[in-house]
A = this chain, B = another copy of it.
């Protein structure tokens, strides 16, 4: 009996298509000699598509995407100096729309200092943590407005909306992950100032802690968390936090682990009501697009997160181990010339069977 893994693929713009195709190759290679077949359907979405059609994501496309088991996403975005696309449109009408419509409660972002990565910290230590960022609430709710806009009396508001339901599911997910790792959970918030949301997050973390007696819980204000991120990032195992703090901390974590070049992520629907989506954290990098020089490793690692999410843990681990071996081999061969996108894909596939 074969199982079909039915994937939607959104290559997107710039280097998106190049890195996604390597991720797909590696996914396929990892599934050789199993009874899992991969079916892919490509969707044309992003800056180029918007320029050609004026469409970001139609309802029809959303309905089609919804039918798949998971989504592999490259990157969307035009060149920074291309002002034909109104600022924020692609982010809000594609990325955030997918997260919200498909109820991507958990924005999962692992941070590791891989072999050969150069941290800007002089003593980074062993960095290996994950950020479990809430993905559908908080200041991302799009709630707020302008009053007397454009005048000297303008008032602009942004409302952070936090629900017990939304917080609980992400907190539970974080406890589950902590329990399967080094059993340490850090809640990051700012409850001395954001007292209402802070009370809710605190309460739910305390309630769930009772179900995970082996997990140690601590708390940091977001400002203090950024300090630890540069003075002692090895202290973190699992961080759980809200949407905006998670956005900030994961970019900082990416920098501290040598740049977001290797950072993978998952936007996870925890109830299985819609497909989850996996994407490298980096953008579309139009300046290096089409030259076969982009590093596909983050996309490949996002593919591993995807496989783990659909229950193919063994293959996920195999890919992660292959990436690790590939990076370690590079460290041992420092005079290796810059590798092409496809060569990195080849090398990781070779490591898969090594």
Name A's B-contacting residues (CB within 8 A): 87-88, 91-92, 96, 120-123, 139-140, 142, 144-146, 148-165, 168, 190-197, 199-200, 203, 222-224, 226-227, 229-231, 244, 247-248, 250-252, 254-256, 259-260
Contacts of A195 in B (CB 8 A): 88, 92, 142, 144
Contacts of A121 in B (CB 8 A): 120-122, 230
A159 to B195, CA, bound (A): 11
Contacts of A122 in B (CB 8 A): 120-122
Which of A150, A199, A230, A231 has the largest number of chain B CB atoms within 10 A?
A230
A196 to B163, CA, bound (A): 22
Contacts of A151 in B (CB 8 A): 164
User: Are B199 and A227 interface neighbours, CB within 8 A?
Assistant: no
Which among B159, B163, B168, B231 is the interface contact of A158 at CB below 8 angstroms? B159
**Apart from the given pairs A120-B122, A153-B165, 13 other A-B contacts in the complex at a CB distance below 8 Å:** A88-B192, A122-B122, A139-B160, A142-B195, A155-B162, A156-B199, A157-B160, A157-B161, A222-B247, A222-B248, A223-B247, A226-B255, A227-B251
Contacts of A222 in B (CB 8 A): 247-248
Contacts of A159 in B (CB 8 A): 144, 157-160
A145 to B238, CA, bound (A): 28
A338 to B272, CA, bound (A): 59
Which among B87, B146, B149, B163 is the interface contact of A191 at CB below 8 angstroms? B87
Min CB distance A5 to B, Å, is: 32
What are 14 A-B pairs at a CB distance below 8 A?
Answer: A121-B121, A139-B193, A144-B159, A146-B196, A151-B164, A155-B161, A156-B161, A156-B199, A158-B162, A158-B194, A223-B248, A226-B226, A227-B251, A230-B252
Min CB distance A169 to B, Å, is: 12
A13 to B5, CA, bound (A): 62
User: Are A252 and B226 interface neighbours, CB within 8 A?
Assistant: yes
Contacts of A247 in B (CB 8 A): 190, 193, 222-223
User: Are B120 and A231 interface neighbours, CB within 8 A?
Assistant: yes
Which among B96, B139, B226, B250 is the interface contact of A248 at CB below 8 angstroms? B226
| A226, closest chain B residue (CB) | B252
